Amino acid sequence: MYSKDELSAKSVVQLKDLAKEIGVKIKSGDNKETIIYTILDALAEASADGAAQKRKRTRIASKKEDRVYSVHGIEGENFDVMKNQVNGPAATDTTTEGDTPQAIPATVDPLAAFPKHRGRKSKAELEAIAAAKAAAIKMQQEGMKAAENTAELPTENADHTDNTESPTEQAAVSEEEAMATALASNEQPTEEAPVSDNQETEIPEAQFTADGSGNDNSELIAMLQAKMNAHNENSTPAEPKENNTPESAVAETTPDGVWSGDPGDGTDFITVVDLPIEDQAAMPTYDIFDRPMTPAATAAPASAQAPKEVSQEPEYDFTDIISANGVLEVLSDGYGFLRSSDFNYLSSPDDIYVATNFVKRYGLKTGDVIQCHVRPPHEGEKYFPLTSIDKINGRDPSDVRDRVPFEHLTPLFPNEKFELCGDRRTTNLSTRIVDLFSPIGKGQRALIVAQPKTGKTILMKDIANAIAANHPEAYLMMLLIDERPEEVTDMARTVNAEVIASTFDEPAERHVKIAGIVLEKAKRMVECGHDVVIFLDSITRLARAYNTVAPASGKVLTGGVDANALQKPKRFFGAARNIENGGSLTIIATALIDTGSKMDEVIFEEFKGTGNMELQLDRSLSNKRIFPAVNLVASSTRRDDLLQDKTTLDRMWILRKFISDMNPIEAMNTIHKSMQQTRNNEEFLISMNS
């Protein structure tokens, strides 16, 4: 039997195979739930048909204690008679309301049909009487079998006294059986009584075969026959009812319970064989819940008792069935772990152990993005170990092994522009102004210089969504260092990029570690020819974190900046480059100015000349609610001639000369009004002729 949960766990194909095995027809249009209920119905019907029948009610023969005694006339004591039995006629009305008329003829005397006469009966008459008695006994036995079969029917309202004999009838039958057995033993060989069909077990008395000991009792049997013949000759005829009823026999007993006609010579009780009665029918074969009990184990042949060799199924191999991915971090001991982006590439329970042999075989480095298969940890292991590698940075492992390190790649000026105005859904005034006045190319090192509350985060979000919509081949990462937690949530929900964050409530060591592994990941992807864009907000706070964790060198600059603390943030920002023969790393970072901190001014001065694109935001524009608050005169891109066509360059040359004498507010108002009247930058440049 299958339960519903076991069937629900199987697939539709397995369910159809199971239905085919049990003979259930499944339609092609049936769904999984219909197939499950059809199989359950079929299994329930099969179990109901094969259920074990209730056991039949059987008679339990009471075991009485066997007594061995000798009788000498009337002096012996008969233990077969109850001590407190009252002498006298017994009640003759023993029938019940449920008695059937078929049981009445069983008590009729079989000798009533023979003529009554005085004197000794002839030999023919004796044989006829014995035959009549045997026939009557046989009929009585058949009647008892029929009565037992009727009583054993499983009816609820059956009466226990139906088709049963009264005690007087059973006593008469027992006397007739004893007399017939004694007569038949002298005249003809004993015939075995037929065994009923309902008898399930063998009775030891039926299996007994007489041996030579039967000759010792032959003389006693002959003496008993002679006494019976003499008694028949001397007895006077009496009424059949009086001679053949057990009441007369009881009346002839003495007060001690001994028959008055007992000869006292031992011939009234002849022991032929003493066999213990084993009533197998009394052994229960069903328990209280009508379930068949397990029968006792019988002696099986040696071939059957030999233990069968059970072939053990091999244990299921869980290797290479779980796929995983992560960013590799190689430790100083040579082995590494795959870090999960869900935990910002820090240590977590989801880490995957990478053995040293995998690191050496495939030439793995910190930052490699690996797609692999793992196995469950064995006992005593803490992590899921890596078993096989499918992809490294999206490439085959054989292609990645011989890659050129990032430091040895040839950097070039950006010569391919990121289109920010192609998709109408992400095109707005901010992206149009950036695309026209400060174009961003693949491999650009862009720096957004901004005062507080000038809208730098919103501007960076618009640029990121525009690049993601128009350049799906680029891999975008948004790195938020020392930012507010609510900005992290908003950025993760509104930007189509991978967001890695370390909020301001985290220690500086966490800021540095996350920034380092993000940069290494970007380098490894660039080595494999990918275009990667990193949005860093902000590089000023990252430099503060490096200054916090840097060891003291003894040389302190203005504002408390260590002389060696700015080396690593410079390395981070300087990693942006366009690679010859494919691949680029673009970094767009924000730098804070006018915060009132000397440290921020020093940091900005250190990064001021390192970028090749600068976009400055003005607080005066944001105060007048003019967005984007871009200072158009101070914003530009180096070598923009590699990114824009000649017509656009010529028109932008004229436009810049036109707004060069204006202050930031006047210039932005002029460009803002003209751009609102056109749908795209091409239409705006054409409208300049008018």
End-to-end Cα distance, the chain: 88
410 is in an annotated binding site: no
The encoded tokens of residue 250 equal 């009881």
- The owner of tokens 């690679």 is 579
444 is in an annotated binding site: yes
88 is in an annotated binding site: no
441 is in an annotated binding site: yes
249 is in an annotated binding site: no
Please count the helices (runs of H) and the strands (runs of E) in the chain. 23, 14
384's enclosing H/E stretch is strand 384-392
20 is in an annotated binding site: no
Q: Which residues of 289-299 are buried (b: 16+ CB within 10 A; e: fewer)?
A: eeeeeeeeeee
Instruction: Choose among 423, 511, 507: nearest CA to 465.
Output: 423
214 is in an annotated binding site: no
Instruction: Choose among 431, 436, 418, 435: nearest CA to 655.
Output: 436
686's enclosing H/E stretch is helix 681-686
Question: Quick one: CA dihedral 674, 679, 680, 685, positive or negative?
Answer: negative
455 is in an annotated binding site: yes
Question: Quick one: CA dihedral 233, 234, 236, 241, positive or negative?
Answer: negative
453 is in an annotated binding site: yes
- The owner of tokens 């002096």 is 75
Q: Is 557 within 8 Å of 608 (Cβ atoms)?
A: no
Q: What is the DSSP string of 440-460?
A: -BTT-EEEEEE-TTSSHHHHH
Q: Is 549 within 8 Å of 508 (Cβ atoms)?
A: yes
Identify residue 117 by its one-letter amino acid code: H
445 is in an annotated binding site: yes
Q: Is 537 within 8 Å of 591 (Cβ atoms)?
A: no
- The owner of tokens 């009086």 is 242
Q: Is 522 within 8 Å of 534 (Cβ atoms)?
A: yes
* Residue list, annotated binding site for ATP: 441-446, 453-458, 484
* Residue list, annotated binding site: 441-446, 453-458, 484
